[in-house]
Amino acid sequence: MQQTSSQVVDTNSTSHPDLFPALKGGGNNLGMVMQVELQAFKQGPLWGGPIGHRPASIHRQVSALVNLTGHLVDDLHAQVITIWHYNGKLASDVVAGGVQYTLGVETPPIFHEFLNLPRALSTLRVTNIYDLMMEAAPLPGKRALFLTLTFRNDARVLEYLNNVHCVHERR
């Protein structure tokens, strides 16, 4: 990585380990990535899929998400993506998440708080990566735009974003 000071440094889990996590979520704020080395591996069955919750439980969802995100470093096989959107079939706002567990174990303990919330939809199952990705793919002839934000794992931030979303939806 070339830092904003023009210094080039190797950044990984052992060289400049303080920069490595920030680089993964920091966009171009820390410098310019000059080279990426990846290690490929064979992925077997994994557990996951979309899971949706109704807005009435948003405060419990935020708490569960903050707790889950705070413990992802304890279980490197778990990951979650959260999406707040309007679902036309349900005629309701839905807080949806894509959860995956790369060991193919159903309902791993790291997700228990998240999974104990009342669900509006769920297709959680043991499957393969292609099946999960096709479920999230746009319909033929359609496009999807995904934007990401990186911020501190803090319930106050998520509550604020939910309030902004609700105000925007009412317009």
Handedness of CA 20, 25, 29, 34 (dihedral sign): positive
Residue 122 structural domain: 46-170
Alpha-carbon distance of 104 to 129, in angstroms, equals 11
Write the pLDDT tens digit of every residue in 84-134.
777 677 677 777 788 999 999 999 999 999 899 888 889 999 999 999 988
8 Å CB contact between 110 and 47: no
User: Nearest-CA neighbor of 104 among 128, 75, 132, 82?
Assistant: 128
Least confident range of 12-16, 25-29, 49-53: 25-29
Looking at residue 114, what is its pLDDT? 85
pTM: 0.70
Q: Are residues 135 and 83 in the same domain?
A: yes
Question: Which is higher by pLDDT, 166 or 128?
Answer: 128
Q: Are residues 100 and 28 in the same domain?
A: no
Least confident range of 17-26, 48-57, 107-116: 17-26
Alpha-carbon distance of 116 to 24, in angstroms, equals 30
Q: Are residues 51 and 128 in the same domain?
A: yes
Between strands 31-32 and 78-87, the pairing is unpaired
Count up the domains in the chain and report the number: 2
Q: Are residues 29 and 106 in the same domain?
A: no
Confidence of residue 151 (pLDDT cuts 50, 70, 90): confident
Q: Please name the amino acid found at residue 92.
A: S
**CA angle (9, 10, 11) in 5-degree steps:** 105
Average pLDDT over residues 49-59: 84
Q: Are residues 72 and 132 in the same domain?
A: yes
Average pLDDT over residues 36-52: 87
Q: Are residues 25 and 98 in the same domain?
A: no
